[in-house]
Amino acid sequence: MDTENISKRLTSVFVLASCEAEGPLRVAMDLRYPPFETVDDLNNPEGISVDIALAFGEFIGREVEIVNTAFGSIIPALQAGEVDIAIASMSITEARDEVVDFSNPYFYFKIITLVNKDFAAANDLNEDSSIEDLRNSGGSFTGIANQVSASIPASYDISVLEAADLATAVENVVQGTADILLMSANPVVQAYAANPDETMVVWSPWVSSPIGMAVNEGNAELQALANDFIATFTEPGGIYETLSAKYDNTIKTTLGRFGLEFYINEN
Q: Which helix (DSSP H) or strand (DSSP E) does residue 211 occupy?
A: strand 199-216
Longest dimension (CA), the chain: 65
CB 117 within 8 A of CB 198: yes
Fold of 3-91+233-264: D-Maltodextrin-Binding Protein; domain 2 (3.40.190)
- State the sign of the Cα–Cα–Cα–Cα dihedral 224, 228, 229, 230: positive
Its pTM stands at 0.83
The CATH 3.40.190.10 portion of the chain extends over: 3-91+233-264, 109-207
Listed in sequence order, the DSSP H helices in the chain are 3-9, 48-60, 74-79, 94-97, 117-122, 131-135, 148-155, 166-175, 185-194, 220-230, 239-255, 261-264
Please check whether residue 27 is in contact with residue 67, taking contact to mean a CB–CB distance below 8 angstroms: yes
Per-residue pLDDT 10s for the chain (267 aa) are 454 454 444 433 333 333 444 799 999 999 999 999 999 999 999 999 999 999 999 999 999 999 999 999 999 999 999 999 999 999 999 999 999 999 999 999 999 999 999 999 999 999 999 999 999 999 999 999 888 899 999 999 999 999 999 999 999 999 999 999 999 998 999 999 999 999 999 999 999 999 999 999 999 999 999 999 999 999 999 999 999 999 999 999 989 899 999 999 998
Q: How many CB atoms lie within 10 A of CB 48?
A: 25
Query: Residue 242: which residues within 8 A CB-CB, separation 6 or more?
Result: 3, 6, 7, 10, 51, 55
* CATH 3.40.50.2300 corresponds to the domain 109-207: no
Residues paired with 127 in a beta bridge: none
